[in-house]
Structure 1
Amino acid sequence: MTDRLLIILIRLSITIGLCLILLGVYLHNFNDAVASMGVDGIIISSMCVAFGMVLSLPTKMYLTFLLVVRESEKNEDLN
């Protein structure tokens, strides 16, 4: 797998994660059907937020790691 394809997949994962987080916030605050479900509705909205965080946070750390490695390689080439 090339770096370009990997970065595209990681960005897609971040986007899906952020969408799930926003969906969980919407369900918890603005949706009356989920609010009327009681504890089950809270579990549904919190699972959306949890899965969104699982998808978005580690991929951001990996992208940061890739950027640091590229920057250090560029600095080594200049010296």
Structure 2
Amino acid sequence: MTKSAIITARVDAETLALVDRIAKSQGRSRAWFAAQAIERAAEQETAYLAFVQEGIDAADRGELIPHEEVFREIRARRSRCAER
């Protein structure tokens, strides 16, 4: 069995009512809902940080696209969308 920790957070009455409504509809507790929400947020943040690090690593290797080339592509895409 894994160890767990208790986290305390203050939420406003409106947010608490939403949490209670969702937890009740799923037959779960506030604590279960909060743990699931924190887990999802942590996973998403971890993925985002990995994505950012990937870009930093590419930049460190000199794998960059010149500014003007990026804007040329954006203008071309906007032109194609405008033609539709």
TM range (shorter): 0.3 to 0.5
Normalising by the residue count of structure 2, what TM-score does the alignment of the two structures yield? 0.41
Q: Which has the higher contact order (CA 8 A, sep 6+)?
A: 1
Report which of the two structures shows the higher radius of gyration computed on alpha carbons: 2
